[in-house]
A = this chain, B = another copy of it.
């Protein structure tokens, strides 16, 4: 595992530090997305001292390099991060348990055509976030923490 992260970091010209590896490790092993604070909390269990700015700095660097990705929550527009060294995809966010699943569906091509045809513009990127209720929460009918 560590070897894996080291390889990733080396290929990005980032120094291989214990904290970078820990951040990647936390994100990789989490199916839901995490706020910087949540990552910080987990880090503090592993390290005697970690600064929150370190978390922010690393998350920013890693997301700039497309190793992890950002999600903005509709309510309080805080940053949330999610691991993804994968190709383009979208997120299905459960409004109840906040779990995130990847959606391998994308209408980018149609979108591009529409924008080209009707607006004469050029699409560079897009954000698609789908909110709803996941399998588990639908079964439990525990749909309390609404958005």
- The answer, among B72, B78, B103, B133, for a CB contact under 8 Å with A114, is B103
Q: Sort chain A's interface into a size bin.
A: 35 or more
Interface window among A6-14, A44-52, A118-126 = A118-126
User: Given that A72-B72, A107-B107 are contacting pairs, would A133 and B127 also be in contact in the complex, using a CB cutoff of 8 Å?
Assistant: no
Indicate whether A66 reaches chain B with its CB closer than 8 angstroms.
Answer: no
- The answer, among B118, B125, B135, for a CB contact under 8 Å with A119, is B135
Indicate whether A77 reaches chain B with its CB closer than 8 angstroms.
Answer: yes
Interface flags for A106-147 (1: CB within 8 Å of B; 0: not) read 010011001100111111111111111111001000000001
Interface flags for A45-78 (1: CB within 8 Å of B; 0: not) read 0000000000000000000000000001010011
User: Given that A72-B77, A77-B77 are contacting pairs, would A124 and B115 also be in contact in the complex, using a CB cutoff of 8 Å?
Assistant: no
Is B101 a contact of A119 with CB atoms below 8 Å? yes
Is B95 a contact of A105 with CB atoms below 8 Å? no
Q: A78 vs B92: C-alpha distance in the bound complex, in angstroms?
A: 22
- The answer, among B104, B115, B131, for a CB contact under 8 Å with A126, is B131
4 new A-B contacts at CB < 8 Å, known A115-B130, A123-B130, A127-B128: A119-B135, A121-B138, A126-B130, A127-B127
